[in-house]
Amino acid sequence: MRKIKAVMVAAMLFAAVGVFANMGNEEVPVKSLSSQIYEMLKKNQFNVEADELKAEVRFIINEDAELIVLSVDTKNETLEGFVKNRLNYQKVELDKIVPGKVYEVPVRITE
């Protein structure tokens, strides 16, 4: 009987320590990279005559967590300049940054 009580007290002690150890470690989750890019590009003054404007954006992320635009593949020169100006050297928040890795993101501007 004594052993059962000792085991139960030890189990409750470990459970309480585990609960208190996890308190205060709640971090705000980091937005995904694509949602951060969306926020950077969402306010624009494009008059979309066709259904939409499309581009394929290639970029890397440097050690300072900044986007470096490598290329914008689109037929619209205005869209190319807009994307480069809005994204180049903008800081992003990522959990695991892999400096120098090439990323590709499709961009669509619609009405």
2-14 residue pLDDT tens: 665 554 545 555 5
With respect to residue 48, please indicate whether it lies within any of the assigned structural domains: yes
Give a yes or no: residue 15 inside a domain. Answer: no
Tally the C-alpha atoms within 13 A of residue 21's C-alpha that lie toward its C-beta. 6
Question: 8 lies in a domain?
Answer: no
Residue 80 located in a structural domain: yes
Q: Which domain holds residue 84?
A: 33-110
Residue 73 within a domain = yes
Distances (CA, A) of 90 to 1, 27, 34, 45: 65, 23, 13, 20
Determine the Cα–Cα distance for residues 72 and 106; give it in Å rounded to an integer. 10
Asked whether residue 94 carries a pLDDT value surpassing 70, the answer given is: yes
pLDDT in tens, 99-108: 888 989 888 8
Q: Judge whether 53 lies within some domain.
A: yes
| Digit-coded pLDDT (tens) for 19-42 | 445 455 444 445 688 888 888 888
DSSP 51: S
Decide if 66 is inside a domain: yes
Q: How many domains does the chain have?
A: 1
CB burial of 37-69 (b: ≥16 within 10 Å; e: otherwise) equals beeebeeeeeeeeeeebbbebebebeeeeebeb
